[in-house]
Structure 1
Amino acid sequence: MSSELTQIADFTQLFVGDTPLIDTRAPIEFDQGAFPFTQSLPLMSDSERELIGTCYKNKGQEQAVALGHELVQGEIKQARLDTWLEFIKNNPNGALYCFRGGMRSQITQQWIYEASGINYPRIKGGYKALRRFLIDETDRIMNTITP
């Protein structure tokens, strides 16, 4: 994977600018929590995620990644790419993320780049970092308010 693909760490601008976001987490994760201006366009379905998670637990990362590539290839991969590219066409100022800004968003970002040449930014730290940022900002603001 290219280490030169863009990452975003300025979370304030994402929220102030109502930046459109692609959430690459599985639908079950999206349903448990998501941000405004976010669309669920997962790299994996819930069942694919479950299979890959079990493989990771039993056989390790390398085999889990290989299984992921096996499950999401050909027409399935192309359909997901087409969906991401349509979103990007309509939202060129957006970004994408997964749970921790790790494998799923990196793979999605890389596939988008390979298919289109578009260096679509990835959120550094993913959903977890965005959520932590909002919690910290809320605490900071609340601490400035005097009763």
Structure 2
Amino acid sequence: MNNDGPPLQARPPFPPATRKPEPTEAQSKEARSYLWVFIALLTGMLLSSELALPWKLLPLALGIAAMVVGIMTMVKIVRYGMHRMLRVIVSMGLAATAFMTLGLAAMVALWPMTARYEACMQSALTVQATESCIKDYTSFGGMLPQP
């Protein structure tokens, strides 16, 4: 008599796969509402990002709010096990929001130089004057050497 234990066919090879249950209608509606608020904040930031300097604080605030709501949206989408394409869309939106918010924060942090650049661009009438304004702004007012 062989005492090797139960036959191999008696044991299941792996436990049955567990899937997250489909999100309820209320959960889907909640995640979609967060998604729409995120899209609205991102759109508002994109549309208002070209405003003059005192108003550059508005898209910066919208960008920070969009980051917070976007992260909350991503958490809800992952928690409720919603479609993977929504994760990709929200991830791309969060990346764009982070990039734009950092750029706007840099413009606000460099307030005097940005104000001088905007004044220069408003008075520039020729292509050469515009290029001069851009060159001055990108070299931080002559602090960086030009190639």
For this structure pair, what is the TM-score category when the shorter chain's length is used for normalisation? under 0.3
Higher relative contact order (CA 8 A, sep 6+): 1
**Greater strand fraction, Structure 1 or Structure 2:** 1
Q: Given the two structures, how large is their TM-score scaled by the length of structure 1?
A: 0.26
**Greater helix fraction, Structure 1 or Structure 2:** 2
Look at both structures and tell me which one has the larger radius of gyration over its CA atoms. 2
